[in-house]
Amino acid sequence: MKNKISIVFLALCIIFTFSACGKNVPSTATVKEEANIQIVDDMNNTISMDKPAKRIISLYSAHTENLFALELSDEIVGVGKSDAYPYEVTKKNVFDYKSDPEKVIAEDPDLVLIRPFINKSKPEFVEALKNAGINVVSLYPDSFEKFPEYIMKLGILTGKEDMAKNKLDKFNEDIEELRKVTENMNPKTKVFFESTETNYRTITPNSMAAHAIEYAGGENVASDAVAMRKGTTIASYGIERILEKAEDIEVYISQRGAMNSGGNLHSISIRPGFDAIKALQDERVYTINEKLVSSPTFRFVKGVKELSRMFYPEIIDNLDEFNKDERLNKREFAKMAVMAKHRPIFSPTSKYYRKEHRGHTYGTFEDIDFTDVDFDYIETAVLAGYVDYEDTLFNPNKEITREELAKSIYVMYELKNKDLISINIRDIEECDNKNIAEIVVKNNILSLEDGSFNPKRVVTKKEALEAINKAKEISMD
């Protein structure tokens, strides 16, 4: 894969021309030799600009997400109605290609990013923007191999070429690191991926999702699927073909999202004949947000990691890294808790932000943003109730006390009180939650120290790991 990306970079250096500065030229105009920036979009239109875009409206969620990854938040003046990541999109003006184009024109953008679907479904909208002198660029990588070229075009249009290349290098390195972990898995976990519930559709072998399955160490049982039509990665499969492979399907993945949506866990479980599928018998049916595996964004790496956790949970979520006599902080415990529970990382949809949320809202911590390496673990742990927070602060470096560990494990494993056991805790009055302290002691998850609970003592990673393992054993009884 690394060689493929290097080849693409070399090709891009030849394809894209940069010459002397000139005036902004709409995408419908004849390309001038003096243009500083020139690219050809996916509708075969040549776009010519004299300088990088500074007022961008993005009408496709993947474009928006990638622009934020390229640190272009200030340049983004508008987003589409289905955009949901990162949280900062909620602060941007919302535009809709199905509405009056005058609203977009009034915002005075120097670049509007769309995808070919919009060109085909709303040509009059696109034409109105072009007639107003706005650069309209239509991009969509219809295969995994075209992702690097797509990202570089975004970088060129916005003056972020170097950052785009660096991001792609890191993307490539992360994928290769995951592949090194999963490539020697033997036997490979056999997977069926449901892209839409209609006609039990799946994905084509050249799709982003198919590559994600491969990189995560899975074997796609529907690798013989054929695209429904040219230009799509969705493939019809049908219930008969799925049930023919019922005994082979070890993991059943259903994609969920606004654009394409498979069944939910309940609807899949009650389908006629599906009780013969091994994955359902073993309770290995999972859902995954389409944005993680089917959308051309840098979060694809996270999607691969999530699939690998579903395929090989005990290996990918191995907790040996925490078996150390080092003081434990909230950042580390959030990761430990999510891995211990094999809990999928939370990823919002556009519907999520339309609802009111009691307590924390995804992405709103002032001291943890979406670029943080542990962002997903922290957000998932907090939303699951595993770790506490203070208003808009998570305090990632705050150390975990015995009392905080007790509360977290109580929530994670829904511990029960052993009423018949009598116990005397010398410092019980110092505990904020006396009941939880008694429960974890009675269940032998945390032991008393000279008759005291010592609620404020900071725990080590090793102590937390031992407590979690004890709670796991109890929960399986």
Q: What is the pLDDT of residues 270-300, one digit of tens each?
A: 999 999 999 999 999 999 999 999 999 999 9
Place of tokens 């072998």: 205
- Structure confidence at residue 32 (pLDDT): 42
Confidence of residue 20 (pLDDT cuts 50, 70, 90): very low
CA quadruple 229, 235, 239, 240: dihedral positive or negative? positive
CATH number for the region 2-167 comes to 3.40.50.1980
- Structure confidence at residue 259 (pLDDT): 63
Q: Which whole number is the average pLDDT over 446-474? A: 97
Domain 184-312 CATH (choose: 3.40.50.1100, 3.40.50.1980, 3.40.50.300, 3.30.360.10): 3.40.50.1980
Every domain range in the chain assigned CATH 3.40.50.1980: 2-167, 184-312
Rounded Cα gap, residues 6 and 13, in angstroms: 11
The per-residue pLDDT for range 384-417, each reduced to its tens digit, is 999 999 999 999 999 999 999 999 999 999 998 8
- Structure confidence at residue 477 (pLDDT): 76
- Choose among 45, 67, 132: nearest CA to 79: 67
**Above 60 in pLDDT, residue 22?**
no
Measure CA 125 to chain center.
31
Q: 325 to each of 399, 433, 453, how far by Cα in Å?
A: 14, 26, 19
- Structure confidence at residue 379 (pLDDT): 98
**Above 80 in pLDDT, residue 30?**
no
Q: What is the 3-state secondary structure (H, E, C) of the chain?
A: CHHHHHHHHHHHHHHCCCCCCCCCECCCCCCCCCCCEEEECCCCCEEEECCCCCCEEECCHHHHHHHHHCCCHHHEEEEECCCCCCHHHHHCEEECCCCCHHHHHHCCCCEEEECHHHHHHCHHHHHHHHHCCCCEEECCCCCHHHHHHHHHHHHHHHCCHHHHHHHHHHHHHHHHHHHHHHCCCCCCEEEEEECECHHHEEECCCCHHHHHHHHCCEEECCCCCCECCCCCCEECCCHHHHHHCCCCCCEEEEEECCCCCCCCHHHHHCCCCHHHCHHHHCCCEEEEEHHHHCCCCCCHHHHHHHHHHHHCHHHHCCCHHHCCCCECEHHHHHHHHHHHCCCCCCCCCCCHHHCCCCCCCCCCCCCCCCCCCCHHHHHHHHHCCCCCCECCECCCCCECEHHHHHHHHHHHHCCCCCCCCCCCCCCHHHCCCHHHHHHHHHCCCCCCECCECCCCCECEHHHHHHHHHHHHHHHHC
Q: Is 253:307 a contact under the CB 8 Å cutoff?
A: yes
Residue-averaged pLDDT of the chain = 91
Place of tokens 């032991």: 447
In the numeric block, which tokens belong to residue 258? 């606004």
The dihedral formed by the CA atoms of 289, 293, 294 and 297, expressed in degrees to the nearest 10:
100
- Structure confidence at residue 422 (pLDDT): 79
The per-residue pLDDT for range 130-169, each reduced to its tens digit, is 999 999 999 999 888 999 999 999 999 999 999 999 999 9
Residue type, 34: E
Q: Which whole number is the average pLDDT over 55-63? A: 98
